[in-house]
Chain A
């Protein structure tokens, strides 16, 4: 049904189709282009400085918002779990720099460029403060990048939590939206979201979240984070479109997995788990163990990660020996248009159409 705020939670979460994103963690190099693409489009107004609807951090690390994995929410055995709120610092704050002092006031040789927090203090944490943190010990350190956003869950905890029914899934594509007219800024949604992908705007006193660039989608263009990815790490499309790469990676090859499936919200962003070099032993000789402990990947992506890694290894071997592999060809991504399930129209084409009054 179309959004009816007086409907039941079941009505509000109903969706006939579901848009989904797949991110290949083997190819993400942490360039933050997706983060900037999103920020420039959606979170530049007053009160949104601290918001990164799209964010990329290293793993292991504190993540973003800081320690989101320890802030509760989601479900366990179908029961809602109490959660806590994020603070300005957790969300990366909005550092201000003494540009004037260093650049315009002639103190370039004496003053050091440094940030202060939005409260005028010396910062002690920020977005990507612990950039390139990692785990493991020499000679086997490991880390990888993990891009995160709203997962447009099939069973969104935020939607369940909102007492004013401001949150709903779009019937036609499953995008989770937050109606700014109905939002009262209570923030029960933030407590409930186990991924902490909703942000409070202290100026409007309402909460805001990723809208999966729905105005672009309605014109045939993939979301900015997906489209702008320089590493071709991403696939996008309808989960039930058997010709789409998201279908092939999630449903057919089953190598793309949800993050923290134990939160039970059924997220619709899926990750191809990262491969890592083989570990070295004390003498510097190669072992058969991966540097990145599979147990760690299991904590993130659930027990299905074992199967996914085996499939990836087998297909990789096949390709290396000169054989054909549909899976490897998808992940290599020679033709970028193939990645986006038909959402390949250029955003600038839309712009010129609008300029021309909608005429082709």
Chain B
């Protein structure tokens, strides 16, 4: 996967409706249900889940302009869930996760001493948020303003289109992107209609490389 360098303004690449995305290189990723047997010690009830992972495929494209990086995620959902209309309802969601240390695993959201940084968007919330985690049940949320993370999404014709954008470099404790180098990336999608939240989700598996073009 490659974040292609463009000369468009940050405002344009942050907008999922912007024309610059029409020609962007898209990659299709197969998603699978998270293997929740792994969380038996953390939640034996969550580990019983056997009907999660409703979204099976997503498209991803990445652009940067030397200042801002933007990731566009596109995935189909038959019935979008944008609000919590009852106590048993959940909203659609998406996340991308990056390693902050060599050897960190996406499947476990890192481990002690091997942190990960994720960007999380939920359809029922106006702002996305950053997550820093060192393994299951250690995730800490940070307000989007901390890193300048933003998300813009719209649903049309049975498809969600979401763009995460953020300055390439934000300092220690979060993922920093350096043109000419690569980092790892993995993705997760939650289908609210299928009561997906927490570990109940589709994910892309272990980190795959994301090249940041010079």
Using CB atoms and an 8 Å cutoff, list the residues of chain A in contact with chain B: 5-6, 8-9, 50, 73, 80, 82-88, 90-91, 157, 160-165, 184-188, 191-192, 199-200, 202, 205
Q: List 7 A-B pairs, minimum CB-CB distance, nearest first.
A: A85-B88, A161-B45, A163-B43, A186-B198, A200-B87, A192-B45, A80-B44
Q: How distant is the Cα of A163 from the Cα of B139 in the complex, in angstroms?
A: 10
**Central interface residue in B41, B43, B44, B137, by most chain A CB within 10 Å:** B43
Closest to B88 in A: A85
Closest to A190 in B: B87
Contact B87 A157 (CB under 8 A): no
- B101 at interface (Cβ–Cβ under 8 A)? no
Contact A160 B43 (CB under 8 A): yes
Which of chain A's residues have a CB closer than 8 A to the CB of B137?
Answer: 5-6, 163-165
Which of chain B's residues have a CB closer than 8 A to the CB of A160?
Answer: 43-45
- B42 at interface (Cβ–Cβ under 8 A)? yes
Contact B46 A87 (CB under 8 A): no
Contact A188 B138 (CB under 8 A): no
Contact B87 A163 (CB under 8 A): no
Q: 8 Å CB contacts to A: which residues of B28-54?
A: 39, 41-46, 48
Closest to B197 in A: A186
Q: How distant is the Cα of A187 from the Cα of B44 in the complex, in angstroms?
A: 14
- B86 at interface (Cβ–Cβ under 8 A)? yes
Contact B87 A87 (CB under 8 A): yes
B176-210 near A? 1/0 per residue, CB < 8 Å: 00000000000000000001011100000000000
Using CB atoms and an 8 Å cutoff, list the residues of chain B in contact with chain A: 39, 41-46, 48, 84, 86-88, 136-139, 195, 197-199
Q: How far is the CB of B183 from chain A (nearest CB, A)?
A: 26
In-complex Cβ contact of B88 among A86, A157, A163, A186 (8 A):
A86
Secondary structure class of chain B's binding surface, majority of residues:
loop
Which of chain A's residues have a CB closer than 8 A to the CB of B41?
Answer: 8-9
Q: How far is the CB of B171 from chain A (nearest CB, A)?
A: 25
Contact A83 B45 (CB under 8 A): yes
Contact A82 B87 (CB under 8 A): no
Secondary structure class of chain A's binding surface, majority of residues:
loop
Q: How distant is the Cα of A90 from the Cα of B63 in the complex, in angstroms?
A: 48
In-complex Cβ contact of B44 among A5, A86, A161, A205 (8 A):
A161
In-complex Cβ contact of B84 among A157, A192, A202 (8 A):
A202
User: Knowing that A163-B46, A192-B45 are A-B contacts, what are 10 other residue pairs whose CB atoms are under 8 Å apart, sorted by A's residue number?
Assistant: A5-B137, A50-B87, A73-B45, A80-B44, A157-B45, A162-B43, A165-B42, A188-B46, A188-B198, A191-B45
Q: How distant is the Cα of A283 from the Cα of B199 in the complex, in angstroms?
A: 63
Which of chain B's residues have a CB closer than 8 A to the CB of A165?
Answer: 42, 137
Contact A88 B87 (CB under 8 A): yes
A sample of 6 inter-chain contacts (CB < 8 A) reads A6-B137, A80-B48, A161-B44, A163-B137, A164-B139, A199-B87
Which of chain A's residues have a CB closer than 8 A to the CB of B136?
Answer: 163
**Contact A6 to B43, CB < 8 A, known contacts A86-B87, A202-B84:** no
Contact B87 A188 (CB under 8 A): no
Closest to A6 in B: B138
Which of chain A's residues have a CB closer than 8 A to the CB of B43?
Answer: 160-163, 188
Closest to B122 in A: A205
Q: How distant is the Cα of A117 from the Cα of B20 in the complex, in angstroms?
A: 47
**Contact A85 to B87, CB < 8 A, known contacts A163-B137, A186-B197:** yes
Q: How far is the CB of B178 from chain A (nearest CB, A)?
A: 32
Contact A91 B45 (CB under 8 A): no
Contact A163 B42 (CB under 8 A): yes
**Contact A163 to B84, CB < 8 A, known contacts A6-B138, A188-B198:** no
Which of chain B's residues have a CB closer than 8 A to the CB of A73?
Answer: 45
Which of chain B's residues have a CB closer than 8 A to the CB of A8?
Answer: 41
Q: How far is the CB of B98 from chain A (nearest CB, A)?
A: 21
**Central interface residue in A87, A88, A184, A188, by most chain B CB within 10 Å:** A188
Q: How distant is the Cα of A5 from the Cα of B138 in the complex, in angstroms?
A: 9
Which of chain A's residues have a CB closer than 8 A to the CB of B138?
Answer: 6
Closest to A164 in B: B137
Q: How distant is the Cα of A188 from the Cα of B90 in the complex, in angstroms?
A: 12
**Contact A163 to B199, CB < 8 A, known contacts A88-B86, A91-B87:** yes
Which of chain A's residues have a CB closer than 8 A to the CB of B198?
Answer: 163, 184, 186, 188
**Contact A80 to B45, CB < 8 A, known contacts A163-B137, A184-B198:** yes
Q: How distant is the Cα of A80 from the Cα of B45 in the complex, in angstroms?
A: 6
Q: How far is the CB of A199 from chain B (nearest CB, A)?
A: 8
Which of chain B's residues have a CB closer than 8 A to the CB of A164?
Answer: 137, 139
